Amino acid sequence: MKLFGIESYIERGGAVSETLPSREFLFVLGEMPAGASICLDTFPDMVNEDFLRKNPDVCAGYMYMVHDFCMRTGLNPVFLSDYKAFSYMSESKKQSALKKAQLAKILSGVDGKNAKKKGTGLVKEITKLCDVPTQVLKKTLEKIRKIKPDAAVLYVDAANYHYFSGSPLLGMAVDMYAEDTMPNDYKPGSVNRCVFNPHPVKSERAFILQKMSKLRKVVVSTGRIRPDRHPQYIGTQCPRLPIMNYFELFVETEETARNGKIITGTFADIYGESEVHGIVTPVGISFTRSCSQRAVPLVPEQTFEGNLNKNNFYEGTVACLRSGRRFDFKLAVYRPGMTCFDL
């Protein structure tokens, strides 16, 4: 099977521009024998002119052209989706945007009443909505396995991730992979550029996002990052809403110093794990989250400085060394059964 990862539109500054399939991509399709089955990650209405006139905001141009090319060259285009899935995705995206706007008000302090309870509920709802594309993609891949097409045209993030991860979800051997995507110097109306055997850059990003998504769901459902381990400390970089930017600190070595204890260990959050070293005193804590080989590239080095308050929580400031940004954090000595909801 030939696998293509495509980009059909670009969104910049709130404006959406559609892209066009490249000549190289269409040439490869045109070389396939008459009657070859080509799975398209779209649904029949996307090539229906009446539907498109009534829904002018739908970005259908790319797939419309690919479908038209298949019909004119004797290929057999097969739709992998339907209107129900499209509506489900669209509605989940709309609801997610609305709930993120509500969450932003809570985080900014505009909506302060029952902020922790309402905010936690919104984070849970947003996490569930963000999982919708994954559910839809699984059904799409199941259809590919059943159809066993000669070629499949998927959106690039999904195609790249499943190709380079060797995912069994595709269920078929891929003898050629190419990406038909926007060039770096893209301008509205310009044509995509087809790259054969591309570097797995997008899949590396997708691996990170997949892992973050899984860990976020663990936090939402259990209140922990690593429920299989007992940390020495649990904390949050968002005291107003602890489920956001929740982390756990695992102390692996401890050395007595004049003013307290020197510690080293592991810092774990939804971005992955990083090395940590610092000092704990009777009145405060200070530690640095390093960017080591275990760290996720998305996270810069951070320093934490906090004092122990009368409620036995450490509270202080986080400083991002790269950007200079500073914000609050809250930390507690872990007791069995504690979760982010106890902060």
Q: What is the DSSP string of 153-184?
A: EEEHHHHHHHHHTT-TTS-S--SEEEEEE--T
Instruction: Supply the pLDDT for residue 30.
Output: 93
| Residue 300 banded pLDDT, cuts 50, 70, 90 | confident
Is 246 a domain residue?
yes
Is 96 a domain residue?
no
| Cα 226 to Cα 207: distance, rounded to the nearest angstrom | 19
Q: Are 204 and 239 in a shared domain? A: no
Final residue belonging to a domain, choices 174, 192, 212: 212
| Residue 112 banded pLDDT, cuts 50, 70, 90 | low
Final residue belonging to a domain, choices 212, 239, 255: 212
Final residue belonging to a domain, choices 191, 212, 233: 212
**Domains contained in the chain, number:** 2
Average the pLDDT over 225-245 and give the result: 93
What's the token pair of residue 57? 């905001």
Q: Are 202 and 249 in a shared domain? A: no
| Cα 285 to Cα 305: distance, rounded to the nearest angstrom | 6
Instruction: Supply the pLDDT for residue 206.
Output: 63
Q: Are 237 and 314 in a shared domain? A: yes
- CB-facing half-sphere around the CA of 172: CA atoms within 13 A: 20
DSSP 192: P
Q: Are 329 and 299 in a shared domain? A: yes
Instruction: Supply the pLDDT for residue 197.
Output: 78
Q: What share of the chain is helix, strand, coil (3-state, %, to 5)?
A: 35, 30, 35
| Cα 119 to Cα 105: distance, rounded to the nearest angstrom | 10
Give the three-state DSSP class for 119. Answer: helix
CATH number of the domain encompassing residue 338: 2.40.128
Q: Are 40 and 186 in a shared domain? A: yes
Is 307 a domain residue?
yes
| Residue 8 banded pLDDT, cuts 50, 70, 90 | confident
Q: Are 136 and 165 in a shared domain? A: yes
Is 46 a domain residue?
yes
CB 126 within 8 A of CB 106: no
| Residue 117 banded pLDDT, cuts 50, 70, 90 | confident
Average the pLDDT over 291-295 and give the result: 55
Average the pLDDT over 29-45 and give the result: 93
Q: Is beta strand 326-333 parallel, antiparallel or unpaired with respect to 233-236?
A: antiparallel
Instruction: Note down the domain range covering 277.
Output: 223-342
Query: Which range (21-25, 175-179, 291-295, 303-307) has the least confidence?
Result: 291-295
Q: Are 13 and 62 in a shared domain? A: yes
Is 115 a domain residue?
no
Is 202 a domain residue?
yes
Task: State phi, psi for 249 to the nearest 5 degrees.
Answer: -120, 120
Q: Are 312 and 243 in a shared domain? A: yes
Kindly give, in sequence order, each residue whose CB lies less than 8 Å from that of residue 131, ignoring residues fewer than 6 positions away. Answer: 213, 217
- Mean pLDDT estimate for the chain: 85
Q: Are 305 and 232 in a shared domain? A: yes
Instruction: Supply the pLDDT for residue 171.
Output: 66
Q: Are 260 and 327 in a shared domain? A: yes
Q: Are 176 and 258 in a shared domain? A: no
Q: Are 179 and 251 in a shared domain? A: no
Is 122 a domain residue?
no
Give pTM, 2 decimals.
0.75
Is 37 a domain residue?
yes
183 vs 320, which has greater pLDDT?
Answer: 320
Kindly give, in sequence order, each residue whose CB lies less than 8 Å from that of residue 21, ignoring residues fewer than 6 positions away. Answer: 6, 62, 65, 66, 69, 180, 191, 192
Instruction: Supply the pLDDT for residue 111.
Output: 63
